[in-house]
């Protein structure tokens, strides 16, 4: 899976963007996985499909915004240190469901962009050394 530079269309492997990292493209554009989420809509050049493509992009942007807000909310809850873990888990499951509904083919990227962020925040602000490994608490069944 690759992420495409929105300016020059050079492709970068998705793993470069793990943990919210940004990549500076050779053309100078700063690319983040979140910024081009979901990828793969910009490649079509067929003029007949262009309008349809524009519409799809517009809808994708709206969906992305909805998902981003939902994910931001989870981040905020993690930072509220007295917000119960179980409720954070419930909110996280809801965001995941939302992502599955909006971007069913992009869950790999969702996990990379958002779930890795939740995990990082949790480790940074909530984890205590004696607790069981966090991943075992939340990782959904495949
Ligand atoms: Zn570029």
The residues placing their C-beta within 5 Å of ligand 1, an ion, are 5, 7-8, 10, 25, 27, 29
What mean pLDDT do residues 98-118 have?
89
Helix ranges (DSSP H) in the chain = 50-79, 85-102, 107-110, 116-125, 134-138
pLDDT tens column, 42-66: 444 556 566 777 788 888 888 888 9
Ligand 1 center from residue 71 Cα (angstroms): 27
For residue 74, the CA-to-ligand 1 centroid distance in Å is: 32
Q: Which has the closest alpha carbon to 39: 70, 19, 17, 21?
A: 17
Enumerate the domain spans of the chain. Answer: 2-138
pLDDT, tens only, 10-48: 998 888 887 778 889 999 988 887 766 554 544 445 565
The phi and psi torsions of 42 (rounded to 5 degrees) equal -95, -5
Q: Is the pLDDT of residue 140 over 80?
A: no
- Model's pTM, two decimal places? 0.58
């Amino acid at each position: 899976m690759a992420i495409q530079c929105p300016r020059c269309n050079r492709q970068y492997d998705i793993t470069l963007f793990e943990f919210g990292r940004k990549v500076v493209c050779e053309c100078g554009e700063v690319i983040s996985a979140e910024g081009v989420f979901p990828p793969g809509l910009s490649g079509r050049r067929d003029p007949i499909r262009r309008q349809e493509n524009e519409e799809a992009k517009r809808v994708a942007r709206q969906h992305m915004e909805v998902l981003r807000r939902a994910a931001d909310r989870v981040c905020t809850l993690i930072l509220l240190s007295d917000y119960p873990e179980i409720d954070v888990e419930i909110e996280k499951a809801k965001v995941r469901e939302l992502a599955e509904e909006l971007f069913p083919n992009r869950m790999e990227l969702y996990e990379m962009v958002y779930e890795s962020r939740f995990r990082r925040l949790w480790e940074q602000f909530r984890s205590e050394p004696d607790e069981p490994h966090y991943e075992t608490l939340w990782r959904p069944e495949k």
